[in-house]
Amino acid sequence: MICPKISLACVLLLLWFTSTGDAAYMKYLDPKQPTNTRIKDLISRMTLAEKIGQMTQIERGVASADVMKNYFIGSVLSGGGSVPAPQATPAVWVNMVNEFQKGALSTRLGIPMIYGIDAVHGNNNVYNATLFPHNIGLGATRDPDLVRRIGEATALEVRATGIPYTFAPCIAVCRDPRWGRCYESYSEDHRVVQQMTDIILGLQGDIPINHTKGVPYIAGKDKVAACAKHFVGDGGTHNGINENNTITDEHGLLGIHMPPYYDSIIKGVATVMVSYSSLNGVKMHANHDLVTGYLKSKLHFRGFVISDWLGIDRITSPPDANYTYSVQAGINAGIDMVMVPFNYTQYIDDVTSLVKKGIINMSRIDDAVRRILRVKFIMGLFENPLADLSFADQLGKKEHRDLAREAVRKSLVLLKNGNSPNQQFLPLPKKARSILVAGSHASNLGYQCGGWSIEWIGGSGDITVGTTILEAIKSTVADSTHVVYSENPDESFMKNNDFSFAIVVVGERTYAETTGDDPELTILDPGTDTIRTVCSTAKCAVVIISGRPVVIEPYLPMMEALVAAWLPGTEGQGVADVLFGDYGFTGKLPRTWFKSVDQLPMNVGDLHYDPLFPFGFGLTINSSQPGFSGADRLRDRNGGMVYVVLSLVLSVILMHASGIGRTK
């Protein structure tokens, strides 16, 4: 046996020889062997308990080195907001991950575990990480290269904490903004979502030429395994209710919700997460026809399929009414790894019993384990299972914050700018006597970041390191300009002050998943009162911080300018960059902005399409200032409607074309 480079794999191999006295050559520990050879060799050595352990993912709060060893656990995750310590440093994260990993490596076969985290807009659970705009804002950029670069930066910041796997990207096609996860969707148009799947190439690396379709690819230690989610139709649930039923025909499924998965698989995505939702009454976690029949067999996906958090529990109604049945239905549907996440002993016992009774076939278990091991081998976990601090300096790195600032600039959508092209209000002058900044979201980093930011549903105030919009404004204007901040000024305050102009920053509360389901879509109180009070006295620009369009039409006449800033993340300077004219507005609406919630659901291509601002709408500023390209010209409402008509024609063409590769 020759080990030219001392590695943990070699050490494990030597220990195995010593403990057994058997000099048999173990192919699975040899990185020179083909991946399929290594998989076959390792599976042939595994007991049923070791195989079921690989199919088990547990939450870090119940994990330990002993648990990893005793139950052969294959994966650990951090749930939203689950951290080893408040404001934990990269060293604390790395030490925690390695503790679990050492437990996994101490098992008989030394199979490394894979640690996963929801890094959905940067490494967002981690203090001091760069938080990029949420997906809806990135959809507004229409810039796949930007999103790819964000994937590269996110991979480095995730690796900074010793983690090799992220549950991202969400490639849902949100068809109703009342859905609490709509900000996790790039667009209501699947074509925009398909473009944005380039983030997978940033996270995992560019796939080699002639790479086999469907086989995962992770380029190296500076990359992470990605996860396309949530398969499939999660963005189309009835009335936008989270985890609800998506009612659609074959054209709707294959023409709207499925296309981003085609692109993700072609780009080598390592894993796919199943949706909580149902499709025409069938829970996706129990949908064999789509998980096994379509995703695995027809699309030839060869990575592993993972459940959502407590996902199999929700197969029954109410959840967890018959856990044994849920385990049976989920695994037989084609789920390979189950995000348990807490009661792993019951899960392991149930799978074991179901296999011994023949209710779950060993061939199904072997398929699951084969897929999990394929991802682990491809990403090099067997050769480099332990994390180190070599990427620690990547967390919150200036270059990444500059990239996030660029993303914020490109995500802003200008919806109103004066009453005519000749009466533009933006860009704002940097030199002014006195300006007012008002609103609940102007000086609140937590609101600016939204959900999935440090905590699962986000938070208020200085939750992490970043720049608020108020701070950005103050650093942008001239030294001689007096900036006054009042979160919710009253009429007396406004009458007693003479402001050159005002900037009102208001928006939604923070939320995630079901907590964000909202049939009213109003901005957080007292946001509308702030708009009325300020904009009735001073000329004002209103900036909306939200994860989706919100009710704004009644207040539109009061304001001089309106900007959709979505959920920009930690780098608020990007907002000021554009408000004050250092850069132009280039963002386009990733989704239709309704007049009234009574119109919902309403998407581009619908027969009765009567929006306040159509999909693709976005004004630019007619300016000769530096920073504006020659292409920056005012695009009026008619231009937006032309886009809608073209989209309608394309939609009809795609509907006919979607007949290719239909399910039986």
3-state secondary structure of 348: helix
DSSP state of 294: I
The one-letter amino acid at 259? P
**Cβ neighbours around 596 below 10 Å, total:** 13
Q: If residue 56 lies in a helix (H) or strand (E), which one and from where to where?
A: strand 56-59
Phi/psi of residue 531, each to 5°? -60, -50
Q: Which of 118, 143, 184, 308 is catalytic?
A: 308
CA distance 456 to 433: 42
Q: Which of 243, 336, 513, 518 is catalytic?
A: 513
CA distances from 340 to 55, 273, 314, 360, 608 (A): 10, 13, 12, 18, 44
| Reduced DSSP (H G I as helix, E B as strand, rest coil) percent helix, strand, coil of the chain, to 5 | 40, 10, 50
- What token pair was written down for 576? 């000021």
Active site residue 336: no
Q: What b/e string do you get for 376-401 counting C-beta neighbours within 10 Å, with b at 16 or more?
A: bbbbbbbbbbebeeebbebbbbeebb
Q: If residue 57 lies in a helix (H) or strand (E), which one and from where to where?
A: strand 56-59
Active site residue 308: yes
Cβ–Cβ under 8 Å, residues 39 and 370: yes
Q: Which residues pair with 283 in a beta bridge?
A: 278
Could you give the angle at the alpha carbon of 100 between the alpha carbons of 94 and 101, nearest 5°? 80
Cβ–Cβ under 8 Å, residues 295 and 305: yes
- What token pair was written down for 169? 């990207």
Cβ–Cβ under 8 Å, residues 533 and 490: yes
Cβ–Cβ under 8 Å, residues 195 and 139: no
Could you tell me where the beta strands, DSSP code E, fall in 383-535? 413-417, 434-438, 482-486, 501-507
3-state secondary structure of 88: coil
Report the candidate in 463, 453, 500 with the shortest Cα–Cα distance to residue 480.
500
Side-chain-facing half-sphere of 544: CA atoms under 13 Å = 27
The one-letter amino acid at 201? L
Write the burial class of residue 434 (CB in 10 Å: 0-12 exposed, 13-18 middle, 19+ buried). Answer: middle
Sequence-distant (6+) residues with CB within 8 A of 637 are: 613, 614, 617
The one-letter amino acid at 337? M
Residue located via tokens 């063409």: 653
Active site residues: 308, 513
